[in-house]
Chain A
Amino acid sequence: MGEAVVAVTREDQEMLADAARSWVRDRAPVSALRKLRNQRPELGYDPDLYAEIVSMGWTGMIVPEAYSGHDFGFQGMGLLAEELGRNLTPAPLIASAVTAASALLLGGTDAQKSRWLPRLVDGSSIGALALEEAARHDPAAVALTASRSGDGWLLDGWKRPVEFGMAADLFVVAARTNGGPGDTAGVSLFLCDASAEGVERHPLTQIDSRAAAAVRFQRVAVGPEQLLGAVDQGFGLLDQVLDRTRAVLAAEMLGSLQEAFERTVDYLKIRKQFGRHIGSFQALQHRAADLLGEIELVRSAVYSALAALDSGDDDVALRVSAAKVLAGRTFGHVAREMIQMHGGIGMTDEHDAGLYLKRAHIADMTAGNIAFHRERFGKLLGV
């Protein structure tokens, strides 16, 4: 893999973050998520908002110019995800423009890249990773089989949840071509049209209102031109694709938890009980101060993981797992405190606190939870 040379100045990044912040504030308030939830569209996002995201160029952040992208790097992508996270904006940006795009960039042939990347960038296609099967995230445990058939393969099995799987027209499917669940050797990645014969999808209604899919593959034929990377050698590619996904997801979580924290601190300044602002009580002040410290650690870990992706550091995996652990723990902590410090009002459906708690849970479960990444961090350190 060749690392893109990212020549992006701090000023460029600040302009980008400012633009994203204004757009999220004006066009994608939390009420947009609420509206989406109440209308329950199967897609799990608002296509009009995604079209605006596409028109601002955000889908081309990590894609080289040769494939219609802007090559802005992961730190730029992270800034966007952070802003989108603030208002819990559901969009297939990470699924399509980070995860699927990275699978193509890192493992695709010229033909595969030329065919799909410009479409992911211009929004005419949406990609999604079909990886999860069992209850617990474990990329080596892939069981869905790809059995030899002529010069191609037949895919058989279930994938769930596939994030934005109802919206996607392109699946990147992790399949077992050799060995058994638990073996890192014998995993292969395939590109598969969502409309291919034998693909059947069912919506999963999630607590965060981002509809995922359960996808069934029944004797779905894939040809050699649909294989991503080398056969049986897909695990390393998958691991890298996942790390890019996790780093940007952690940035999104950082934005969400920052917003949840700020809203909570604001509430402490206006809510009065016993004739005084509850934010004047030391018990609450100290919990808020401790949370701020936790958040500083998350921010550092997330920015460090994104920077490592841009510079091609060899400890990317270590940094990404550390960031996902801290983001997962602190998002959960902030979300629980958001409800507790709001008291009864925080328990109502009308208040946004519950939306942050629900998203915190799903974001932690996605692409490996705290326990998964702590375990991985330990293995990488050799303890």
Chain B
Amino acid sequence: MEGDLEAFRIEVRDWLSANFPPSLHGLTPLHNPADASERHESADYHRWVQAVGEKGWGLPTWAVEYGGAGYDADKADVLAQEFARAGAFNPIVGLGVMMLGPTLLEFGTEEQKRRHLPPIARGETRWCQGFSEPGAGSDLASLQTRCEDKGDHWLINGQKIWTSFAHIADWCFCLVRTDTTRKQGGITFLLIDMLTPGVDARPLKLINDTSHFCEMFLNDVKVPKSETVGEVNGGWTIAKRLLQHERSGLSEQRRATLDLVPLAREYIGLDAAGRLADGDLRPRLLDHLIMDRAYAQTIERRAAAIEQGSPHAPAVSTLKNLGARIAQDRNELAVEILGNRSMGWEGELYRDEELGIVRDWLYSKCYSIYGGSHEVQNNITAKQVLNLPDQ
């Protein structure tokens, strides 16, 4: 067994040296394909997606018939270790991987899995999430998008909002209302091809300028009944499970982090004793750095606890709030450090890094709103983790 793993390790190592494009060394995967600063458009990048996808190595523990490699956890670990050693990233990412895939594996029909999972594993389809509506934010179950039974198909009419990446997505997993007499019990989970006539999506302009968040209009959209996941009116259970995957993905996400220490040294400077010259900001910066380290350690502790099957893993609803708050603190400190260089919107008199920090600061305000707001996460923690009473 050990010997097999070692042979496999060498196989992966050889394959990586033959296939991993040196131009991509040390880059991170594409978390935000709408953000130009994170976009990798090179031919090397596309070759890399294809190469990993063909091996099933993007999702190595998925079954081969679903586009994975059918590996056990040990073999997947070796794969991850060798990727890390080579400075190679897993390019198979996105909402299909993080959210829809695990949900379909649990609730989809065999036909749906065989049709939808392999293109996700090959990095060929991009998915978006049609959940929130103008009138249904934190109270998601109040959604109104109408879904009428037309015999051989569904007819959808309504509006979605905050649909990340809808303008570039190929498919959408969507919640619609099939019964207006019951709230949670009248929701159905559908898969919608974004090329279907009547689907229209466009990016929203936010306080930081354009974003990957879209509004999506559904006008007389016909959806085959074969794209219904689970039971009609049974979508809420599936959605809740999918949202767990979302919280978990968001809480474990390592945001590309700005190192505040060199930034503070450059913009604020040190006094004669080697301390930051701003005696008010300094302790707040240090508190942030201490919490940031502890947060990273908490992510590691959760991963280790899950691997060991321990019941003491920190809850994702708790981690999501910690991660959001600490990241927002970082962005607040960053603009404070820049002083009046953080006042710019655009123009050549500001450095690109300065403009980027300002835009990131503005954007960061959504961390505590998306994926379930801070308040919604705290409701979940109170009820499901602390078991506090309803009345």
Q: Which residues of A contact B (CB under 8 A)?
A: 10, 265, 268-269, 276-277, 279-280, 282, 284-286, 288-290, 292-293, 296-301, 303-304, 322, 325-326, 371, 374, 377-379, 381-383
Contact = CB atoms under 8 A, between A and B. Distances in A.
B378 A296 contact: no
Contacts of B319: 293, 296
B389 A280 contact: yes
Contacts of A296: 298, 314, 318-319, 322
Contacts of A383: 261, 264-265, 270, 275-276, 282, 285-286
Contact of A298 (B294, B315, B390): B294
A187 B332 CA distance: 42
B42 interface: no
A223 B389 CA distance: 66
Interface of B: 261, 264-265, 270, 274-276, 282-283, 285-287, 289-291, 293-295, 297-298, 300-301, 308, 314-315, 317-319, 321-322, 375, 377-379, 381-383, 385-391
Contacts of B286: 374, 377-378, 381, 383
A300 B391 contact: no
Contacts, number: 120
6 contacts: A10-B308, A277-B389, A289-B318, A289-B382, A379-B275, A383-B261
Contacts of A303: 297, 301
A280 B391 contact: yes
B282 A378 contact: yes
Contact of B291 (A279, A289, A326, A379): A326
Given A296-B298, A296-B318, A378-B275, A325 B388 contact: no
A292 B318 contact: yes
From A284, A289, A292, A301, name the one whose CB has the most chain B CB atoms within 10 angstroms: A289
A299 B301 contact: yes
B295 A297 contact: yes
A289 B301 contact: no
A373 to B, nearest CB: 9
From B314, B386, B387, name the one whose CB has the most chain A CB atoms within 10 angstroms: B386
B287 A374 contact: yes
A286 B298 contact: no
A293 B291 CA distance: 11
A308 to B, nearest CB: 11
From A268, A286, A292, A304, name the one whose CB has the most chain B CB atoms within 10 angstroms: A292
Contacts of B382: 282, 285-286, 288-289
B378 A289 contact: yes
A326 B375 contact: no
Nearest to A262: B386
A377 B282 contact: no
A313 to B, nearest CB: 13
Given A285-B379, A299-B301, A378-B286, A265 B270 contact: no
Contacts of B287: 325, 374
Given A293-B318, A297-B298, A325-B287, 12 more contacts: A269-B389, A284-B388, A289-B382, A289-B386, A293-B319, A296-B298, A297-B291, A300-B295, A303-B297, A381-B261, A381-B286, A383-B270
A381 B288 CA distance: 13
Contacts of A10: 308
The secondary structure that dominates the B interface is helix
B322 A293 contact: yes
Nearest to A297: B294
From A10, A279, A296, name the one whose CB has the most chain B CB atoms within 10 angstroms: A296
B270 A297 contact: no
Nearest to B295: A297
A369 to B, nearest CB: 13
A326 B386 contact: no
Contacts of A381: 261, 286, 289
Smallest CB-CB A-B distances: 10 pairs: A285-B382, A300-B297, A289-B381, A297-B294, A289-B378, A279-B388, A300-B298, A277-B389, A301-B294, A286-B378
B332 to A, nearest CB: 17
A151 B361 CA distance: 65
A296 B285 CA distance: 20
Nearest to B298: A300
A377 B292 CA distance: 13
Given A292-B385, A322-B290, A374-B283, A285 B378 contact: yes
B388 A280 contact: yes
Contacts of B386: 265, 285, 288-289, 292
A91 B303 CA distance: 35
Contacts of A379: 274-275
Contact of B322 (A269, A297, A304): A297
Contact of B388 (A269, A297, A300): A269
Given A280-B389, A289-B381, A292-B386, A377 B322 contact: no
A284 B386 CA distance: 12
B270 A286 contact: no
A359 to B, nearest CB: 22
Contacts of A280: 388-391
A300 B294 contact: yes
A326 B308 CA distance: 26
